[in-house]
Amino acid sequence: MTAPAAERPARSGDGSAAPEPRRRFPNAANVRGGALTVFTWAVGLLFVSPALWLVLTAFKEENQAATDPPTLFFTPTLDRFSAVLGSDFAPYLGNSLIATLASTLLVLALGVPAAYALSVAPVERTKDVLFFFISTKMLPVVAVVVPIYVAAAHLSVLDNVWTLVVLYTAMNLPIAVWMLRSFFLEVPTAIVEAARVEGAGLPRILWSVMLPIMVPGIAATALICMIFAWNEFFFAVNLTAAQAATVPVFLTGFVTSEGLFVAQLSAAVVMASLPIVIVGWSAQRQLVRGLSMGAVK
């Protein structure tokens, strides 16, 4: 009696039984890659979780935001955002926009020529100049706030947003010069030499040759300066009162003797973070290109 066709063992051309197909198991590289992916997602979620919890808290009522253990299931509400908008948030936001945008433009206007000169036409003491720039960041801000306050009081520029513009420009200019110089150094020297052969001077090389190549680096530098200026608190809280106070100063108003309004503070933080998040999201391609300039030759 012959076995059914489905049960007969497969045979090769010479009549011998063919070897059974080997089972494929995931190799070690795939296992390591999958484990690394899971670990990366876990670490990413760990770092993002405080921001996600902040956003969720902004849509809670105050009694839900202060519960222990935290309330996980709730009905979202926009009352906290309405309360923030009704508490004179707009003037603080306007002051932050003026101080951030004006200081960033000044930093770029001063930092681009300085970095260009230090990279394309360096002098004998270039390293000393660069060290002097970065050494200004080594001094604690609290050590200079008193003389700055006295000088601002004598000049009658306390509680003035343009005082913050000057201070934020001085605060971000050293970092901008260092960043821009590193980007200028990554531009191929053959391009500069070709422009010189064609008779272009240093200003023409800067505006017509270097800047179009430097757009990603300039965008990255501008975004870094905007973040530092937008989040600056120490100068703003000590040199302003009511007319020129910025968003970080506004946020301290939710810490009162009556307690901490967690939900309303979370809503204010979300609204205060939106401008920088939107700018960073819209410029993310230029930012990635700028921060990776020179990484791959």
Distance CA 243, CA 95 (A): 9
Q: What is the pLDDT of residue 95?
A: 93
Residue 57 CB-density burial (10 A; 0-12 exposed, 13-18 middle, 19+ buried):
buried
- C-alpha dist (Å) from residue 8 to 2, 14, 16, 179, 231: 9, 16, 12, 73, 76
Residue-level pLDDT, tens digit, the chain, 297 residues: 555 555 555 555 555 555 555 555 556 677 778 888 889 999 988 988 888 888 998 898 888 887 778 778 888 888 888 888 888 888 999 999 999 999 999 999 999 988 888 887 777 777 777 888 888 888 888 888 999 999 999 999 999 999 999 999 999 999 999 888 888 888 777 887 788 887 777 778 778 888 888 888 888 899 889 999 999 999 999 999 888 999 999 988 777 666 678 888 889 999 988 888 888 887 777 666 655 654 444
DSSP for 74-93, please give it.
-----HHHHHHHTSSHHHHH
- pLDDT score for 83: 86
Q: From 1.10.760.10, 3.40.50.10170, 1.10.3720.10, 1.10.10.60, which CATH number describes the 81-291 domain?
A: 1.10.3720.10
Contact 108, 295 (CB under 8 A): no
Q: What is the distance between the alpha carbons of residues 172 and 134, in angstroms, rounded to a whole number?
A: 10
- Residue 3, token pair as written in the block: 């076995």
Q: Which residues pair with 17 in a beta bridge?
A: 11
User: Which residue reads 């601002």 in tokens?
Assistant: 152
As a whole number of angstroms, the distance between CA 196 and CA 210 comes to 12
Cβ distance 176 to 108 under 8 Å?
yes
Q: What is the DSSP letter of 244?
A: S
In degrees, rounded to 5, the angle at the alpha carbon of residue 10 between the alpha carbons of residues 6 and 11 is 145
Provide the 3-class DSSP secondary structure of residue 100: helix
Q: Are the C-beta atoms of residues 100 and 229 closer than 8 Å to each other?
A: yes
Q: What integer pLDDT is reported at residue 148 of this predicted model? A: 92
The Cα–Cα gap between 286 and 135 comes to 29
> How confident is the model at residue 22, as a pLDDT?
56
Q: Rounded CA gap, 49 and 40, in Å? A: 14
Contacts of 226 (CB under 8 A, 6+ apart): 100, 101, 104, 276, 279
Q: Measured between alpha carbons, how far is 151 from 155 in angstroms, rounded to an integer? A: 6
- Segments making up each domain of the chain, as ranges: 28-80, 81-291
